[in-house]
Amino acid sequence: MTAAKSIIQKTLVKWRLLRISEIMLIALGVALLVYFTSYNFWISTGIFLLVALLTVLWGKLWQYGRSDVCIHLDNTVIEMEHSTSLLLEPQNKLSLLAKIQQSKMADAIQDNKNQIRLKHNLWRNFIIAAVCVGLGVFLQNSGFLDFSSAIPSGIPKKDAITFTPLDTLVANIVPPEVISRSITVSYPFYTEKAAFTTSELNLEVLEGSYVNWTVGFDKNIKEAWLQFGSDALSMDLKNDFYVKEMRAKSSSFYTLKFLDSLGNVYLSNLYALEVYADEPPVVTMNDLPQFSTFEVDSPQELEFTTNITDDFGIVDIAIIATVSKGAGESVKFREERLAFDTPFQKGFKASELRKKIDLQTLKMEPGDELYFYVEVKDNKEPKPNITRTETYFSVIKDTITDVFAVEGTMGADLMPDYFRSQRQLIIDTEKLIAEKFTLKNKDFNLRSNELGFDQKALRLKYGQFMGDESEAPSAPKEIGEATIPEDMLDDYSHKHDGNNEHNLVAEEDDGHQHDNEAAEGTEEDPLEAYVHNHEDPEASTLFAKSLRSMLKDAMSEMWDAELYLRLYEPEKSLPYQYKALKLIQEIKNSARIYVHRIGFDPPPIKEDKRLTGELKDIKGFSKTEELEREEVYPKMMEALGLLELVLSGKGGLSENDRFILQAAGDELAVLAIAEPSAHLNTLQAIKWLSESKQINVDKVNTVHAGLLRALPEPNPVPSGNNRYQGKLNQLFLEALETNE
């Protein structure tokens, strides 16, 4: 009987174990799911207990007892004949039959104990638990629910700021962690761009932007700094957050450093603050050749489109056009600001503008030239970026221009026009001779006389070069009809604009009274502009002399030419005119040679001192210069030597050594900005070494190798050496010399 009761009891225990296992599997599965998503042990333990409790309550497990086992046995084991419960009854309370049945059942249960089967859902629950765990792992890896306990603020783990304690002597301390950080970048006002906030610490900001760092820690800390090179900017504590705002002026690297309540200093990795400049506007001219020419009788219109883009907006666009009239000394310039035909809105970032320039509206005439370019200003403050296009040229062809160049290779034609009029006179004279038989005698004489007058005017003009005093040329009054202009030289010289004074010879009034000195041609010598005298007596004596003599010859030829013209014998005048022309040509050539010789101004030589052998006024000269060679990266070199000693096992780094490393870091930062990929690791390691009181061999190696790479290869330099001249050496050298 006891054995039968024991079987029932064991069955009950087995049942309970099965139920508990089922509950545990479910609870464990849910708890692991929570753990994988939260990374919090306590939360998952709580969940575990909660689920277990709920399941127990739901299943009401405590209500299940031996009588329930009996019912189960009655239902599952036929041999028990629905009498299992009898086994639990005390014998004295049973009837005889019941006792017989109880006895029979006691035997039956022992015979059939192997047939007892308890239903369970272990496999189902195991699968549920496995699914929960799988889901948890999936969620954790997929990052859907990636909020680990380390960064509860939502900062992805990979982006968390890694702080390295500078003093690792204190072991087993949990460092304060950054639980929130935000960097707000406010663009300069003129950009009209909204500020943005990011948690990314490597920043790329526009020059002049304000950058605001806000960092929150999970524990109280004493102080926090933003460290730019060797400058540590203390952060202000505002509402539990450390805040610092600064204006981005130039690219640099920074680290976040803080001092915790225990007095330990922590340093973050190095982050880049890259500052980019406001780009100047980009202007593209379409459909416009650099040079364009127009015929006089064709439409003179210039049409083009311009594409303008800028990163933050354009405030001003203009076409700056310059019209030049005339040639040589008489050229005149007129500048105009033209607007585009397409209206533009201030502040636009990209636009295509159209313009049609009608040269006629600019009052351009044949031979006139138009130069223009487009100027665009962006909205940058305080100083806008200005872009100018290339200059474009447009010319209205002048069909009557007689191009004369003194020298093809010369940059500018410096010869005044009246040097050319001798040729004109010859042409006119030849024309007169040719027309001699068709003209009336009177007309012929008149024209010959006029030509004579022109010849005289020309001669007088040359006379000015010679410094000759001359009376105003008077009209050939005896002929009478000819109208004499007020300034007869108008035909030979060009009136010119004040703008181009530098190109021109100063004109004199006809009635100008020269004093004797002026007559010598020393003060107002018109040739001065050409000979570049510079008060150089040597140059002036040698060069001007030959020019003068040639001019004199030319003038005497002109005299003869004028004489025959006055005598109405142009045929006889012509040879003299040719001779004069030839001489003038030679003068031009001399002038050209002179132009080529400009550029070397020999030192003044006093004539009376030459070749006298007198040295008393010649003085010695001395100068002193300090050119101490400066190393480009002195601190980097010093730091390299320091680390070399550290690597050879010679102790650690002193306070002064760390200062040197910091200075080396500043030098390297300049290189790192230009080439971050090459030097950023080194810079980061230098930062760590310069701040930490510990030595990390890996970091020392990184810095050493990095500095070695960054330093330029030294140039070969001569240097002195040390030598010990021993007695033996001396004897040897003496013996050598004696034997030689």
Task: Point out which residues bind another protein (CB under 8 A).
Answer: 615, 618-629, 637-638, 640-641, 643-645, 647-650, 700-702, 704-705, 708-709, 711-728, 730, 733, 736-737, 739-740
> Which of 131/647 has CB closer to another protein?
647
Q: Which residues contact 501 (CB under 8 A, 6 or more apart)?
A: none
What is the token pair recorded at 110? Answer: 């022992």
- Cis check: omega of the bond before 382, within 30 degrees of 0: yes
> Which of 214/702 has CB closer to another protein?
702
Provide the β-strand partners of residue 196.
Answer: 185
> Which of 483/622 has CB closer to another protein?
622
What is the token pair recorded at 90? Answer: 């005390």
Please give the full DSSP string across 477-495, using - where no structure is assigned: TTT--PPPPSSGGGGTS--
Distance in Å, CB of 653 to another protein, minimum: 15
Q: In the block, which residue shows the tokens 């990266």?
A: 633
Kind of pairing between the strands at 291-294 and 282-286: unpaired
Distance in Å, CB of 656 to another protein, minimum: 16
Distance in Å, CB of 668 to another protein, minimum: 14
Backbone angles phi, psi at 638, to 5 degrees: -65, -40
What is the token pair recorded at 633? Answer: 């990266």
> Which of 622/677 has CB closer to another protein?
622
> Which of 381/644 has CB closer to another protein?
644
> Which of 459/658 has CB closer to another protein?
658
* Residue 25, CA distances (Å) to 20, 119, 128 in order: 9, 16, 8
Counted residue by residue, the chain has a size of 740
The widest CA-to-CA distance across the chain, in whole angstroms, is 186
Distance in Å, CB of 539 to another protein, minimum: 24
What is the token pair recorded at 557? Answer: 């030829």
Q: Are 233 and 226 in contact (CB under 8 A)?
A: yes
- Classify residue 337 by burial, with Cβ atoms within 10 Å: 0-12, 13-18, 19+: exposed
> Which of 480/603 has CB closer to another protein?
603
Q: In the block, which residue shows the tokens 């059939």?
A: 112
Q: Are 211 and 185 in contact (CB under 8 A)?
A: yes
Distance in Å, CB of 255 to another protein, minimum: 23
| DSSP category for residue 544 | I
Distance in Å, CB of 701 to another protein, minimum: 4
> Which of 172/721 has CB closer to another protein?
721
> Which of 337/727 has CB closer to another protein?
727
Distance in Å, CB of 667 to another protein, minimum: 13
How far apart CA 636 and CA 642 sit, in angstroms, is 10
> Which of 30/646 has CB closer to another protein?
646
Q: In the block, which residue shows the tokens 């000269």?
A: 621
How far apart CA 399 and CA 508 sit, in angstroms, is 33
Distance in Å, CB of 704 to another protein, minimum: 4
* Residue 349, CA distances (Å) to 186, 374, 580 in order: 20, 16, 66
Q: In the block, which residue shows the tokens 């069909």?
A: 399
Backbone angles phi, psi at 542, to 5 degrees: -70, -45
> Which of 599/649 has CB closer to another protein?
649
> Which of 408/641 has CB closer to another protein?
641
Distance in Å, CB of 672 to another protein, minimum: 17
Q: Where are the beta strands (DSSP E) in 171-240?
A: 178-186, 196-198, 203-206, 210-217, 221-228, 231-234, 236-238
Q: Which helix (H) or strand (E) holds 338?
A: strand 332-338
Backbone angles phi, psi at 184, to 5 degrees: -105, 125
Rg (CA), the chain: 54
> Which of 516/722 has CB closer to another protein?
722
> Which of 306/702 has CB closer to another protein?
702
Distance in Å, CB of 725 to another protein, minimum: 6
Q: Are 195 and 228 in contact (CB under 8 A)?
A: no
* Residue 362, CA distances (Å) to 300, 592, 647 in order: 11, 37, 78
Distance in Å, CB of 655 to another protein, minimum: 20
Distance in Å, CB of 717 to another protein, minimum: 3
> Which of 480/726 has CB closer to another protein?
726
> Which of 263/613 has CB closer to another protein?
613
What is the token pair recorded at 645? Answer: 């000693």
Q: Which residues contact 728 (CB under 8 A, 6 or more apart)?
A: none
Please give the full DSSP string across 241-266, using - where no structure is assigned: EEEEEEE--S-EEEEEEEEETTS-EE
Distance in Å, CB of 715 to another protein, minimum: 5
The residue among 415, 390, 386, 393 whose CA lies nearest residue 403 is 415
Distance in Å, CB of 619 to another protein, minimum: 7
The residue among 55, 23, 28, 25 whose CA lies nearest residue 44 is 28
Distance in Å, CB of 423 to another protein, minimum: 48
Distance in Å, CB of 416 to another protein, minimum: 42
